[in-house]
């Protein structure tokens, strides 16, 4: 794995990996991670990402960091100016503790 470590005040603060490796890590985490019991959001409920985040008392910056996007980009997604990719939606569901009901 090709990782670049960014240091601040002599301590590792960020790890930067190539996009393909990041996507592989996301896929592996999704396939192998233990799934905690989390509330489902029915497909008929059209709650916005902002409403979900605020209902959980989470700051935009915290959720964006967990998803791996900038706070400004998350703001654009929440306002409807940008559409979240499937990978970002997956990250948002994970960060907000929401699972998608498939109806099966």
Q: pLDDT per position in the chain (104 positions), as tens?
A: 788 988 988 888 888 888 888 788 878 777 555 444 445 443 333 458 999 999 899 999 999 999 999 999 999 999 888 889 999 999 999 999 887 766 55
Whether residue 98 contacts residue 41, with contact meaning beta carbons closer than 8 Å, is answered with: yes
Inter-axis angle of helices 86-96 and 19-32, to 10 degrees? 50
Domains identified in the chain and CATH numbers: 1-34 (no CATH), 35-104 (1.10.260.40)
pTM of the full structure: 0.54
Phi-psi region of 53 (alpha: psi -120 to 50; beta: other; left: phi over 0): alpha
Q: Which of 60, 67, 62, 57 is nearest to 90 (CA)?
A: 67
């Amino acid at each position: 794995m090709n990782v670049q470590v960014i240091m601040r005040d002599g301590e590792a603060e960020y790890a930067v990996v190539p996009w393909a490796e990041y996507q592989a890590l996301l896929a592996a985490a999704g396939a192998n991670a233990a799934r905690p019991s989390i509330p489902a959001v029915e497909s008929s409920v059209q709650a916005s990402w902002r409403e979900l985040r605020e209902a959980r008392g989470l700051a935009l910056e915290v959720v964006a960091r967990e998803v791996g996007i900038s706070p400004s980009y998350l703001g654009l997604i929440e306002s409807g100016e940008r559409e979240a990719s499937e990978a970002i939606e997956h990250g948002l569901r994970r960060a907000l503790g929401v699972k998608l009901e498939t109806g099966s």
